[in-house]
């Protein structure tokens, strides 16, 4: 077996004294000393949120304050860490919106399991779940990080939409009377 020896180039005097490396380190230190400080007083001042940021998933209502979620459970099925739990419920037959499929009886998102992937927002056919710009959550117990339906609607608020599922479809007779 042949052994190949590689010739090393001898070090210069400056390289042997480490002077260039020491000067480079001092230049870096000096730059950090004289540059503008980027310190924020956190609770009052918050950094700018970049576009496309995926924050806390929340439920939203339509402009009339009605639930947009119809308990299709697609977000629950697509959630990789299984952080979403939905208990489907029925809308009473005597309610004015009984023609809509369903409404969730319970809707929970475990924020300790959520990985903020945004798949729940992408798969929602009713545009009922959105990722908000909130990035800071705190609590003392694990139960405080499980957002129930009321908390999700409180965080989400209302968003305008182009879905008209609440409006009853007009019969042919009603459409004929309009013309």
Number of structural domains (the chain) is: 1
Q: In whole numbers, what is the pLDDT of the chain averaged over residues?
A: 85
Q: Is residue 35 part of a domain?
A: no
The residue ranking higher by pLDDT, 63 or 30, is 30
pLDDT digits (tens, 9 = 90+) for 31-50: 999 988 888 888 788 888 88
Q: Is residue 69 part of a domain?
A: yes
Q: Is residue 81 part of a domain?
A: yes
Q: Is residue 89 part of a domain?
A: yes
Percentage of the chain beyond pLDDT 70 is 86
Residue 136 belongs to domain spanning: 57-156
pLDDT digits (tens, 9 = 90+) for 145-165: 999 999 999 998 887 766 666
pTM over 0.85: no
pLDDT at position 158 is 84
Q: Is residue 118 part of a domain?
A: yes
Q: Is residue 88 part of a domain?
A: yes
Q: Is residue 123 part of a domain?
A: yes
CA dihedral 11, 14, 17, 23 (to 10 degrees): -130
Q: Is residue 136 part of a domain?
A: yes
Question: The CATH number of the domain where 111 resides is what?
Answer: 3.30.70.3270
* Range 79-96 average pLDDT: 87
User: Would you say residue 95 has pLDDT above 80?
Assistant: no
DSSP string, 14-62: HHHHTHHHHHHHHHHHHHHHHSPP----TTTS-PPPPTT----EEE-B-
């Amino acid at each position: 077996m042949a052994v190949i020896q590689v010739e090393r180039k001898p070090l210069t005097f400056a390289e042997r004294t480490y002077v260039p490396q020491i000067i480079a380190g001092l230049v870096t230190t000096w730059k950090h000393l004289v540059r503008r400080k980027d310190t924020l007083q956190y609770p009052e001042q918050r950094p700018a949120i970049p576009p496309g940021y995926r924050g806390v998933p929340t439920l939203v209502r339509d402009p009339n304050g009605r639930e947009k979620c119809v308990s299709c459970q697609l977000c629950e099925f697509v959630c990789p860490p299984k952080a979403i739990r939905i208990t489907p419920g029925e809308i009473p037959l005597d309610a004015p919106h009984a023609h809509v499929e369903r409404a969730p009886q319970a809707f929970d998102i475990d924020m300790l399991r959520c990985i903020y992937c945004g798949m729940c927002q992408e798969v929602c056919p009713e545009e009922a779940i959105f990722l908000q710009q909130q990035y800071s959550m705190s609590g003392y117990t694990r139960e405080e990080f499980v957002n129930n339906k009321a908390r999700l609607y409180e965080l989400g608020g209302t968003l305008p939409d182009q879905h008209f599922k609440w409006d009853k479809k007009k019969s042919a007779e009603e459409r004929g009377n309009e013309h």
